A and B are shown apart, each in its own frame.
Chain A
Amino acid sequence: MDKENHSSKPIIISIISLTLFLGIWELVCRGGLIDPVFMPAPSKIFARAVKLIGNGELMAHTLASTRRVMVGFMISSMVAIPFGIFLGSSRLFMAICDPFISLLRPLPSMSWIPLSLLWLGITETQKYSIVFMGSFAPSLLYIIEATKSIDPLLIRAARNLGASKLDVMREVILPGALPQIISGLKVMLGIAWTCIISAELVAAREGLGFMIMNGKEYFQTDTVMLGMVMISITVMVIDVVFKKFERRLLPWTR
């Protein structure tokens, strides 16, 4: 009870501030001070949302982007986690791979669009690959760092108890680095969203990035802003799901 009282107050304040903000925004737009092409009123964005929810377009775009982000991000994580743990625990392989990682890391996902179009064509795989290329190298670095941050004493203890090097990776490094890996992956998920938006600017016909660009083409700024709001909402929803998942995965941190 006590806890709830504590947590409900900031929420009420947040709701008031949001309502106030939207109210002022609406009034300014209604007053005709701003051209709706530059800044549509919240009610217009809401009306656009109602329309696009009604014809199913909003859901289709959101799902298309979410699917692309999730597939690209999952593949990236599934490769980066074992690879990162391996690199983080082997100086030799780190030295071998380091130059390549250093070269890949600074490349924005956008820069992969021309090559990915040539190699993979205008396909869904190409969209996944943009998310993958945009999130893989930074994920890998996060995981390598997390791996290196493990207390070497724990590795000694495990080895002393008969763990092989592989056992150490599975039983010590992975769970030990997991809290850091997960917080890193949460950041990466945000990056994956920026990737998919840039991927959908080119040769796409669905997804929130496409919706935003196409809205821009038709000067439907309400559509553009709705697309932006949808990205925020989707990322927030995924974040909540992620947190649930995190608690389950990290019971010892509670």
Chain B
Amino acid sequence: MQLKKVNISTLLLALTMAVMLTLAPGTASADNKPEKVTVIYGGSSWLGHYPAWVGMEKGLFKKHGLGVLFQNFYASSGRMGSLIAGDLDVASTGSISAIALMAVGNKSFFAFGTQDSYATVEGIIARDGINSLKDLKGKKLAAPFASSAHVLVLDLLQQAGLDPEKDLTLLNLKVNEMPAAMSSGEIDACAAWTPHFNKLLNMKGNHLLANDTEFSLYKKYKLGPGPDLLVVRKDFAQKYPNTCNAFVKGYFEAIDMLINKPEECAQVLVKLTNLNMEDQMTVLKDIEWIPGSKQKALMSDPGDFVKGMQKLGDFLTRHGQIDQSPMVKDWVTTDMLP
């Protein structure tokens, strides 16, 4: 099913509806028209949500007759919880939450794409004087539990031969609480992701200790500890296939724009991230966007992404974070991809 219609999107549902009225009804064939004109998207200030934001701000969803409502969630787990509860239609999530939800056997969502690859906007930041992972011995290291940064920490500590239970104090802290904890001397190091990651790096006396490139699966498979994936609620996808296709179209156009016109995108992204333009551009440079044309290869079974996710599931099981590794391929669909 192909869409020919174009529409604008805004944060406000009402506005979206009003804009819908301005559309010329004859520009799309009745078959391909979105069954539902509003998509509720779950996001945050994390880079994985840049395409959705750019798509909204730059009117790319609107072109396809869609209004997208951007709902902010602090963590992926809350976002995924809302998705399966039916409050969100589409979301991007860190893979840890998605795998955890697969591991408990919830089948009410599909993964339909992976939009980015990043390795240098997440990592462990330490105060000066701590120059290697081994130096963390006896120190206080903070990570938000049940996150990609937590997985990174578990992996890096294992590589350095440190036991998180005995050799150091591993603290459970939200990323937005880390800057204060670092400046008060409460913690000696922390694992965080952008934009907090950049803020922490900019603080005096802090430096980067390790990033995702040191992650064991990254070294072998170029897979970070928490790659982003796009998920859709299963019943939404089945009920509104045209809407989903329209969303996917607009979404990957946004990715193309992020690749081709990063500066133009950065100007609207700073509203989401509160970073300055310089930092925003730095973050953008560190991301490898995966265009729509490459999605199918990654998402099919046995594509690289599906294989990588399976490895991550096994890793989480080994570290006792989930009960058993799910068959990731059972949750992946390529039907929505261009």
Chain A residues at the B interface, C-beta cutoff of 8 Å: 35-38, 117-118, 121-122, 202-205, 210, 214, 216-221
Residue in A36, A122, A218 whose beta carbon sits within 8 Å of that of B173 in the complex: A122
Question: Across chains A and B, which 8 residue pairs bring their CB atoms closest together, nearest first?
Answer: A217-B146, A218-B100, A217-B77, A205-B172, A219-B101, A37-B106, A121-B186, A219-B104
Contact across chains for A205 and B171 when beta carbons are under 8 A apart: yes
Chain B 104-141: CB-based contact to A (< 8 A → 1; otherwise 0):
11101000000000000000000000000000000010
Beyond A122-B173, A203-B171, A205-B172, is A220–B104 a contact (Cβ under 8 Å)? yes
20 of the cross-chain contacts (CB-CB < 8 Å) are A35-B106, A37-B84, A38-B85, A117-B181, A118-B180, A121-B186, A122-B171, A122-B181, A203-B173, A205-B145, A205-B172, A214-B146, A217-B75, A217-B97, A218-B77, A218-B104, A219-B80, A219-B104, A220-B100, A220-B104
Contact across chains for A122 and B145 when beta carbons are under 8 A apart: no
Residues of B within 8 Å of A121, CB to CB, are: 184, 186
For chains A and B in complex, what number of residue pairs have CB atoms within 8 angstroms? 67
User: CA A71 – CA B305 in complex, angstroms?
Assistant: 49
Having A37-B104, A217-B77, A219-B101, one finds 15 other A-B pairs with CB under 8 Å, namely A37-B101, A122-B142, A122-B181, A122-B186, A122-B187, A202-B174, A202-B177, A203-B171, A203-B172, A210-B172, A218-B103, A219-B80, A219-B81, A219-B100, A220-B104
Contact across chains for A214 and B104 when beta carbons are under 8 A apart: no
CB distance from B238 to the nearest CB of A (A): 17
User: CA A116 – CA B145 in complex, angstroms?
Assistant: 21
Residue in B77, B184, B187 whose beta carbon sits within 8 Å of that of A216 in the complex: B77
Chain B 274-304: CB-based contact to A (< 8 A → 1; otherwise 0):
0000000000000000000000000000000
Answer yes or no: B322 CB below 8 A from chain A CBs: yes
CB distance from A117 to the nearest CB of B (A): 8
Q: Which of B159-194 contact A (CB under 8 A)?
A: 170-174, 177, 180-181, 184, 186-187
Answer yes or no: B267 CB below 8 A from chain A CBs: no
Q: Which of B185-212 contact A (CB under 8 A)?
A: 186-187
Contact across chains for B108 and A35 when beta carbons are under 8 A apart: yes
Answer yes or no: B321 CB below 8 A from chain A CBs: yes
User: CA A215 – CA B106 in complex, angstroms?
Assistant: 15
CB distance from B318 to the nearest CB of A (A): 15
CB distance from A161 to the nearest CB of B (A): 57
Residues of A within 8 Å of B84, CB to CB, are: 35, 37
User: CA A210 – CA B144 in complex, angstroms?
Assistant: 12
Beyond A37-B104, A205-B145, is A218–B322 a contact (Cβ under 8 Å)? yes
Chain B residues at the A interface, C-beta cutoff of 8 Å: 75, 77, 80-81, 84-85, 97, 100-101, 103-106, 108, 140, 142, 145-146, 170-174, 177, 180-181, 184, 186-187, 321-323
Most buried by B among A36, A122, A218: A218
Residue of A nearest to B101 (CB): A219
User: CA A121 – CA B181 in complex, angstroms?
Assistant: 8
Most buried by B among A122, A214, A221: A122
Residues of A within 8 Å of B142, CB to CB, are: 122
Residues of A within 8 Å of B75, CB to CB, are: 217
Residues of A within 8 Å of B100, CB to CB, are: 217-220
User: CA A202 – CA B186 in complex, angstroms?
Assistant: 14
Most buried by B among A37, A210, A220: A37
Residues of B within 8 Å of A216, CB to CB, are: 77, 81
Contact across chains for B146 and A218 when beta carbons are under 8 A apart: yes
User: CA A54 – CA B28 in complex, angstroms?
Assistant: 61
Residue of B nearest to A123 (CB): B186
Beyond A121-B184, A204-B172, is A218–B81 a contact (Cβ under 8 Å)? no
Residue of A nearest to B320 (CB): A55
User: CA A221 – CA B181 in complex, angstroms?
Assistant: 31
Residues of A within 8 Å of B85, CB to CB, are: 38
Residue in B105, B106, B170, B184 whose beta carbon sits within 8 Å of that of A118 in the complex: B184
Residues of A within 8 Å of B81, CB to CB, are: 216, 219
Residues of A within 8 Å of B322, CB to CB, are: 218
Contact across chains for A217 and B108 when beta carbons are under 8 A apart: no
Residues of A within 8 Å of B174, CB to CB, are: 202
Residues of B within 8 Å of A38, CB to CB, are: 85
CB distance from B144 to the nearest CB of A (A): 9
CB distance from A11 to the nearest CB of B (A): 36
Beyond A35-B106, A36-B104, A204-B172, is A218–B321 a contact (Cβ under 8 Å)? yes
User: CA A9 – CA B172 in complex, angstroms?
Assistant: 48
CB distance from A40 to the nearest CB of B (A): 9
Contact across chains for A36 and B105 when beta carbons are under 8 A apart: yes
Residues of A within 8 Å of B101, CB to CB, are: 37, 219
User: CA A122 – CA B186 in complex, angstroms?
Assistant: 7
User: CA A137 – CA B180 in complex, angstroms?
Assistant: 29
Most buried by B among A118, A205, A221: A205
CB distance from A242 to the nearest CB of B (A): 31
Residues of A within 8 Å of B80, CB to CB, are: 219
Beyond A121-B184, A203-B171, A219-B100, is A214–B145 a contact (Cβ under 8 Å)? yes
Residue of A nearest to B106 (CB): A37
Residues of A within 8 Å of B97, CB to CB, are: 217, 219
